[in-house]
């Protein structure tokens, strides 16, 4: 440890530690626009400059290491003026449309202008008129709002390893775009939305379908049903200023009914159904010498990733649809038949933590007889905006249960929202399917937590099972490379597109405290710990669905409704 002086007080730091990390640990706020925790500093925005005694120039704190006896000042007039000048220059050609921007109230540039007391436009530059990219069903790009911080590029390339976007051009003509400057729809983008979560302005946002949903709710000839994903109930509260991780499941159901939805279903139910199908598929593959390791198919960003970058491994992917699409298929088959409603007159909406779900529901494979299983997907953020628009306060409502027949779920289905949750739920049921007995301890600790890569090797009734869990596509790429190279000690692999899983999805609340994701994770585990029903196979409504309609897992009817196929995608030449 070394000693240095910050704003007149003595602090300790590790030798070689960056100034910025020391300042943050000491509770000193220094603004940044380009910095991303966990990645090497780029030092591009210069917002984090400080004065270091003996240096004639201002020092970027994110990329300058501390040294013994260093004296630092973080808020001198010179430092503050430098930061103000940077923001003024960024505002010189920035659109004046904050009132209409999705990031209004969550914009780093807006907050910096407020914090630094900038109340007028000092510099005026020519506005860059750039066409918005509306080609993707999931993500909208507005280059006019881009400040070239590079966060989205780093997220896409260094963390997700997709590299769908990069810097194009030089000098004043520099911008961020795709290969050949085409639309996102013809790029290698997997629609994960992690770029949206790190964008400091409104240059990136999800494709919004709120107006279409409102129109459907007001159509008397339509039955409008909604499903909500496992992780939404532990993240929606943040859109209403409530603590991160607060579970508002019952209040959210009541709020959705207040909006006018005819039925409110829980996607955790179809997560249980996924386990029955996926677990049965795994056992079948292991016992019959099928293609291994089998890989999960719940995360649509991951599916597009493997279709694009590892098509040779597509036979390893489970044929199961995701829980969203399984429930969508049942709504427009079993539920429609039971209610005597034409599936074409049902509008199926889902509330998801994921922008890639918007892409998934538009896939042609997910539309039987040209009728999509799911019509519209709203993110957690969009649901928050919709509820605010209708004046519905989640916190003020009495809890209400979801509707049958798709409202009763096990906690195994609920923990699908966290990385490792699918695997944990699958092993619980696989153990039962193989042995006829429940696991002694349903909590499988090695699969829990936010670590990017986790492994478990167990033996069930003489059957050896090697399992791996990865979240974040950069971690997935490393494991897939090992599989391609010949690794053969794994039978089952769970892959989540987003780091941490759905609790950190591309459609979750933005600009939250870093501890928020951990709080959401803990909330899901608490729900599981306290639940009376903790295994998917013991869900009585799942058992009834098979008995009355589907027959058996992997049977003819379930295969027709709940399974699908995936195909290779081409990569643009510049990214190949």
Do 229 and 202 share a structural domain? no
State the burial class of residue 513 (Cβ atoms within 10 Å of its Cβ: 0-12, 13-18, 19+).
Answer: exposed
pLDDT score for 572: 54
Q: What is the pLDDT of residues 70-91, one digit of tens each?
A: 999 999 999 999 999 999 999 9
Do 270 and 171 share a structural domain? no
Q: One of 307, 360, 408, 494 is an active-site residue; which one?
A: 360
Q: One of 233, 502, 510, 536 is an active-site residue; which one?
A: 502
Q: Is residue 478 part of a domain?
A: yes
Do 80 and 129 share a structural domain? no
Helix (H, G, I), strand (E, B) or coil at 468: strand
To the query of whether residue 278 is one of the catalytic residues in this protein, the response is yes
Per-residue tokens: 558: 């379930």
CB atoms within 10 A of CB 495: 27
Q: What is the CATH number of the domain that holds 152?
A: 3.30.70.20
Do 309 and 236 share a structural domain? yes
Do 357 and 316 share a structural domain? yes
Q: What is the pLDDT of residues 93-109, one digit of tens each?
A: 999 889 999 899 899 99
Q: One of 61, 231, 235, 318 is an active-site residue; which one?
A: 318
Q: How confident is the model at residue 575 (pLDDT cuts 50, 70, 90)?
A: very low
**What share of the chain in percent tops pLDDT 70?**
99
Q: In what order do the strands lie in the sheet with 463-471?
A: 294-295, 492-496, 463-471, 453-460
pLDDT score for 574: 41
Q: What is the CATH number of the domain that holds 237?
A: 3.40.50.1780
Are the C-beta atoms of residues 434 and 463 closer than 8 Å to each other?
A: yes
Q: What is the pLDDT of residues 216-255, one digit of tens each?
A: 999 999 999 999 999 999 999 999 999 999 999 999 999 9
Q: Is residue 79 part of a domain?
A: yes
Which residues form the domain of 463?
A: 211-562
Q: What is the pTM of this model?
A: 0.95
Mean pLDDT (the chain) is: 95
Do 554 and 406 share a structural domain? yes
Q: One of 51, 238, 239, 281 is an active-site residue; which one?
A: 281
Q: Is residue 102 part of a domain?
A: no
pLDDT score for 173: 87
Q: Are strands 376-379 and 371-372 parallel, antiparallel or unpaired?
A: unpaired
Strand ranges in 425-486 using DSSP code E only, listed in sequence order: 453-460, 463-471
Whether the pLDDT of residue 322 is over 70: the answer is yes
Q: Is residue 554 part of a domain?
A: yes
CB atoms within 10 A of CB 104: 12
Distance CA 489, CA 467 (A): 9
Are the C-beta atoms of residues 410 and 537 closer than 8 Å to each other?
A: no
State the burial class of residue 455 (Cβ atoms within 10 Å of its Cβ: 0-12, 13-18, 19+).
Answer: middle
Query: Of 89, 109, 136, which marks where a domain is finished?
Result: 89
Distance CA 257, CA 263 (A): 8
Mean pLDDT computed over 291-301: 97
Whether the pLDDT of residue 153 is over 70: the answer is yes
Query: Of 143, 175, 206, which marks where a domain is finished?
Result: 206
Distance CA 350, CA 325 (A): 10
Mean pLDDT computed over 1-30: 94
Distance CA 329, CA 25 (A): 50
To the query of whether residue 281 is one of the catalytic residues in this protein, the response is yes
Mean pLDDT computed over 420-434: 94
Among 405, 404, 410, 407, CA closest to 426: 410
Q: One of 298, 354, 361, 498 is an active-site residue; which one?
A: 298
pLDDT score for 571: 65
To the query of whether residue 360 is one of the catalytic residues in this protein, the response is yes
pLDDT score for 576: 41
Kindly report the length of the chain: 576
Cβ-based neighbours of 92, under 8 Å, separated by 6 or more: 121, 122, 123, 124, 125
Do 255 and 349 share a structural domain? yes
pLDDT score for 512: 66
Q: One of 278, 382, 408, 494 is an active-site residue; which one?
A: 278
To the query of whether residue 382 is one of the catalytic residues in this protein, the response is no
To the query of whether residue 357 is one of the catalytic residues in this protein, the response is yes
Task: Considering only the C-alpha atoms of the chain, give the largest distance between any 2 of them, rounded to a whole number of Å.
Answer: 80
Query: Of 176, 206, 236, which marks where a domain is finished?
Result: 206
To the query of whether residue 81 is one of the catalytic residues in this protein, the response is no
Do 196 and 229 share a structural domain? no
Q: Is residue 111 part of a domain?
A: no
Q: How confident is the model at residue 514 (pLDDT cuts 50, 70, 90)?
A: confident
Whether the pLDDT of residue 190 is over 90: the answer is yes
Do 180 and 80 share a structural domain? no
Q: One of 68, 339, 365, 548 is an active-site residue; which one?
A: 365
State the burial class of residue 135 (Cβ atoms within 10 Å of its Cβ: 0-12, 13-18, 19+).
Answer: middle
Q: How confident is the model at residue 466 (pLDDT cuts 50, 70, 90)?
A: very high
Whether the pLDDT of residue 124 is over 90: the answer is no
C-alpha atoms less than 13 angstroms from C-alpha of 66 in its C-beta half-sphere: 24
Q: Is residue 99 part of a domain?
A: no
Do 241 and 178 share a structural domain? no
Cβ-based neighbours of 481, under 8 Å, separated by 6 or more: none
Mean pLDDT computed over 158-184: 93
Q: Is residue 568 part of a domain?
A: no
pLDDT score for 130: 84
Q: How confident is the model at residue 259 (pLDDT cuts 50, 70, 90)?
A: very high
Do 285 and 433 share a structural domain? yes
Beta bridge partners of 563: 320
Do 175 and 32 share a structural domain? no
To the query of whether residue 297 is one of the catalytic residues in this protein, the response is no
Q: How many domains does the chain have?
A: 3
∠ Cα 111 113 119 (to 5°)? 130
Mean pLDDT computed over 326-351: 97
| Helices 77-91, 108-115: inter-axial angle, 10-degree rounding | 140
Q: Is residue 107 part of a domain?
A: no
């Amino acid at each position: 440890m070394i000693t240095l002086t910050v704003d007149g007080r003595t602090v300790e730091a590790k030798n070689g530690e960056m100034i910025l990390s020391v300042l943050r640990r000491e509770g000193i706020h220094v603004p940044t626009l380009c910095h991303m925790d966990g990645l090497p500093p780029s030092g591009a925005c210069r917002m984090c400059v400080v004065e270091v005694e003996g240096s004639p120039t201002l020092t970027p704190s994110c990329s300058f290491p501390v040294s013994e006896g260093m004296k630092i000042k973080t808020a001198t007039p010179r430092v503050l003026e430098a930061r103000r000048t940077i923001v003024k220059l960024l505002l010189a050609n920035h659109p004046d449309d904050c009132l209409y921007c999705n990031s209004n109230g969550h914009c780093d540039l807006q907050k910096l202008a407020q914090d630094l007391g900038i109340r007028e436009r000092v510099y005026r530059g020519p506005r860059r008129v750039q066409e918005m990219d509306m080609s993707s069903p999931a993500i909208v790009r507005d280059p006019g709002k881009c400040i070239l911080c590079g966060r989205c590029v780093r997220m896409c390339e260094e963390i997700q390893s997709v590299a769908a976007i990069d810097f194009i051009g030089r000098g004043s003509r520099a911008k961020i775009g795709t290969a050949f400057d085409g639309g996102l729809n013809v790029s290698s983008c997997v629609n994960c939305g992690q770029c949206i979560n790190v964008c400091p302005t409104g240059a990136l946002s999800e494709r919004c379908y709120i107006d279409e949903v409102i129109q459907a709710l007001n159509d008397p000839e339509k039955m409008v049903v909604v499903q909500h994903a496992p992780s939404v109930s532990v993240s929606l509260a943040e859109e209403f200023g409530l603590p991160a991780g607060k579970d508002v499941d019952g209040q959210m159901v009541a709020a959705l009914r207040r909006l006018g939805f005819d039925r409110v279903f829980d996607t955790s139910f179809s997560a249980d159904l996924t386990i029955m199908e996926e677990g049965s598929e795994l056992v079948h593959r292991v016992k019959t010498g099928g293609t291994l390791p089998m890989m999960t198919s719940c995360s649509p960003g991951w599916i597009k990733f493997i279709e694009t970058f590892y098509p040779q491994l597509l036979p390893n992917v489970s044929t199961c649809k995701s829980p969203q699409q399984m429930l969508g298929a049942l709504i427009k088959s079993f539920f429609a038949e039971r209610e005597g409603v034409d599936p074409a007159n049902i509008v199926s909406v889902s509330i998801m933590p994921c922008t890639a779900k918007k892409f998934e529901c538009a896939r042609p494979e997910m539309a039987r007889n040209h009728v999509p299983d799911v019509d519209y997907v709203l993110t957690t953020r969009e649901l928050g905006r919709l509820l605010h628009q209708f004046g519905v306060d989640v916190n003020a409502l009495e809890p209400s249960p979801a509707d049958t027949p798709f409202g009763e779920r096990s906690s195994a289905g609920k923990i699908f929202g966290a990385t490792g949750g699918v695997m944990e739920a699958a092993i619980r049921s696989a153990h039962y399917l193989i042995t006829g007995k429940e696991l002694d301890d349903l909590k499988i600790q090695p699969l829990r937590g936010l670590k990017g890569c986790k492994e478990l090797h167990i033996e069930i009734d003489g059957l050896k099972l090697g399992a791996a869990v990865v979240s974040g596509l950069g971690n997935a790429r490393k494991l897939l490379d090992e599989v391609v190279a010949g690794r053969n000690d794994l039978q089952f692999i769970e892959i989540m597109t987003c780091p941490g899983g759905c609790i950190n999805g591309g459609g979750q609340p933005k600009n939250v405290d870093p501890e928020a994701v951990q709080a959401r994770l803990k909330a899901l585990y608490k729900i599981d710990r306290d639940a009376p029903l903790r295994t998917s196979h013991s869900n009585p409504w799942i058992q009834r669905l098979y008995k009355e309609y589907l027959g058996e897992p992997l049977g003819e009817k379930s295969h027709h409704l709940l399974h699908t196929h995936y195909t290779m995608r081409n990569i643009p030449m510049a990214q190949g």
